Structure 1
Amino acid sequence: MEYVGTLKFVSRRRWILLGGLVVLSGCASVRTAAPDGAGPDRRKVRRDVEPLQRRFAAVGQLSDPHWLGYNPNDLGRESIPDQDPHIRVVGVARLPAGTVNSIVSVTGYAFEPSAPSQLPEELAEFLPENAEWVSSASYDNHITNSLYPGRFHLAPATDWVYFDTVNPEVVDGSHPQ
């Protein structure tokens, strides 16, 4: 064996092993806490209406929103970003009084009783209690213009809308009155 200074010569295999351990330990320290201190996996409920209003203008004038926008495939690990990330935009918002009844009364939509599914726990407290939700695949297609997946549940008695979409785009249009 050969000595370099006071260090014993280390085989190439050991250098690779040591390098791999250094890289792995560095990756573990890359995770950072969320700004609110809740940890890296905590999703923050948003209250801004403008991003929703641009994407869901056809629903009507939204107010009092509570929503999340996140990549459902992101498990909170730092990694190479998805080449085609999917952003789920899900939440609730209020519409002006009577708006939901005017939408639901359009016979071509054929609304039926429904219930929001896969509700993120961060939003549970913001859903109106005892809401009687209705939805329509035709109405969903009208709002999304069939450009992205989306489901819209409406509560006629309370004028709330629950939306669950993936990569929502800005779509021109308005609902028929």
Structure 2
Amino acid sequence: MDVQRGRTDRRRFLLIAGLPVLTVGAGLTYLLWPEPPYRPEVRTDLEPLNRRLGPFLGELTDAHWLGYDIDASGAGDDRIPSPDSRIRLVGAARLPAGGAAAITAKPDHAFAPGAPSGLPAPLKKYLPADAAWQHSPGFDAYANGQGGKSEASDGTPSGRYLFDVARDLVHFDLLYLFT
């Protein structure tokens, strides 16, 4: 009988002492488990782009783009947002027929050859490798300044626009600062 009582006491002790240890161990494992790297998904919806870029680029079609908070660590980021959010809007879209030629032909913008830089990997396949990109700091200033302002455009944009006249493509890489 004493043997039976000893086993019962030992089981009770293990249950009482082991349960909190297992709970703490499981909690620490959950907290310390590494999250998979955040990879934003390529978007193809046009409404957000046409709302922000349409007033000075025209109606965009066939878009592939990313929009993400550059300060966020990833999907499900549950941190308290900073008072100044920085949203990167980067991608490529097709302009109306002749749209790129009309924009690059304006002499006040002085377009010159340029190249995209810092393109996120998911977007590389959507920009033709043999594109003849044209860039103008003057057009960037226009689009990011008064030309980029519309009632639907929130935040203060900064960034670059590159045009491929042969394909009527625009590549945009913008940073919106929300304060």
What is the TM-score with the length of structure 1 in the denominator? 0.72
Moved more, 110-119 or 144-153: 144-153
| Corresponding residue SS for 2:89 | strand
Q: What whole-Å deviation, never above 9, does each CA across 1:62-112 have from its counterpart, x for those lacking one?
A: 000000011223333845244122111100000112111111110000111
Tell me the distance in 2 between the aligned counterparts of 1:45 and 1:61. Answer: 20
Q: Mapping of 1:75-94 within 5 angstroms?
A: 75-76=73-74, 78=77, 80-83=79-82, 84-94=84-94
Choose which of 27, 30, 52 in structure 1 pairs with 2:31.
Answer: 27
Quick check: which has more Rg, 1 or 2? 2
Q: Mapping of 1:26-65 within 5 angstroms?
A: 26-28=30-32, 31=35, 41-57=38-54, 58-65=56-63
Query: What are structure 1's unaligned runs of at least 5 residues?
Result: 8-18, 32-38, 170-177
CA contact (8 A) 2:86 2:177 kept: no
Tell me the distance in 2 between the aligned counterparts of 1:54 and 1:25. Answer: 45
CA contact (8 A) 1:144 1:168 kept: no
What is the TM-score with the length of structure 2 in the denominator? 0.71
Q: Mapping of 1:96-175 within 5 angstroms?
A: 96-145=96-145, 147-167=156-176
CA contact (8 A) 2:63 2:91 kept: yes
Relative distance call for 1:22 and 1:82 in structure 2 (3 A) is farther
- 1:71 matched to 2:69: yes
Query: What are structure 2's unaligned runs of at least 5 residues?
Result: 1-11, 15-22, 147-155
Structure with bigger helix share is 2
Give the residue type in structure 2 aligned to 1:62.
Answer: L
1:129 shift after superposition: 3.3
Relative distance call for 1:104 and 1:29 in structure 2 (3 A) is same
Tell me the distance in 2 between the aligned counterparts of 1:21 and 1:87. Answer: 38
1:26 shift after superposition: 3.8
| Corresponding residue SS for 1:46 | coil
RMSD: 3.0
Relative distance call for 1:63 and 1:78 in structure 2 (3 A) is closer
User: Which position in structure 1 is the counterpart of 2:151?
Assistant: none
Tell me the distance in 1 between the aligned counterparts of 2:163 and 2:172. Answer: 9
The percent of aligned pairs where both chains have the same amino acid is 37
